[in-house]
A and B are shown apart, each in its own frame.
Chain A
């Protein structure tokens, strides 16, 4: 019953307070919209960066042969340190913190499919390489496996752009292609990925064959480089130290010699990025809080501006027999409706913007923004609470007065 009274009152009141209601709604609209957009884009951008960064692989370090820069146990500096595939096997068997490891041999080769040909790098790697370096097979295909390696199969896994260069739109898996004139069966095509860092070019135009096959064809004594992935529970620093310890014992160099093997630890960049995004997130939350405070002040200001006339109105209604609960219900319904409508519009508007942006083709830089429904609801909820506090406390104060006091207050 009270609710019905309240609705009738509410619509009467809304009409009078057109401007106030609109302003309040706009405040809530604006707050909701800007925060939803802020978070949607912030999250999109962050995730895009993380995806790109992860394109090269998670928790990995890449090691290249180097030249010692320090004397060690009577041995001069300037010696070349070049690990072999056996050394990588040694590290694999001894290092406890290494989760995956693979040598990587590579050379340029002429790749041919029918009339199409391309001169690209071919890499000889172990099966672990794929998972470690985030070289993921597209559906319906696979990466190199242990049997390929063991039996020196002439199988090849190709990057998605290389596949397009050679096969166009045609199916590649199961087809034969020539590598320097030798026939290879395509077993897999890489799933498209974002990659913002690389060595020897992006993975999308590389091809991979078993390292055993590679050495049967090109017989290399030393690995071109090797890639190690550490257990996520330990740090890459410790893992690197462990690897260097094993290799320095074998090749007799100072394990602290940074040039004996050159290392690219991708987790360093990642750590930077993580810190950067932490700061970015704090910044976003800061702006969000500031927006909310501003919006809240706006909402409560508008609510308070009319306290004078509202108190008189409350006095009149009480004089005519309104119970306290009727008056409070009216204020609650009013505030919730105003914030609800404003919030809904803000949300819908932000949603539309978020949906429209990917159509403008900026995905590579800002990612695909995504509306955080929970976040949006929290914002609307907070503004509603601010509105309730701003609107209901004065209303409650007024409703607790004797009618004559409310009538005379101003």
Chain B
């Protein structure tokens, strides 16, 4: 798609049921994916999938937020909205990846962390916070790919990494354009305007220095595979200290404010 496309069209594209979901990427890009279940505390959240696999004989840990393509699938997957146990499963697998020195690849696709009663009781905020803290200092390469809808802290919770990639028609936002419109414009019908003003497209976010690369969608799965492999090989050259220090600085740079002029 070209640059002429309106931001809102990308939102629609990013949310399309028939668009490839995390498992489609995982099955295409990696060999012998073995899914692992459960957070070891409470349960197994089907909105988050994770496991081990390999790519060009490099063992990796893969994690993804999984939406469904049909209503039935979406009910099973809670529409890709994780509960705390989903994030805790992700963290468990990531810590394991660190133990066995496996790079981590995550696929982001969620309307947000689930805002439910149980989610709050079980500490949704704590679960996300813990992931941010831990991911910032894991001593293995982390590549995060926004494949569809990356919304809010629920996306960021598996999104702290060395390379942040976005599919050309994916979006990444602090909240949904609809939510933004109803809160800041006090008019939910202004979602198209919100989508434009919020700077949520891959192109806008690259300009803002929030993501690293944009993946073209002409051959969506293959392009994503190539992009991951290229970054993986680059990151594997770094030692642990360089890796963690670079990652720290990557986030350290974002949004520093400005000192007042001294008059």
A associates with B: no
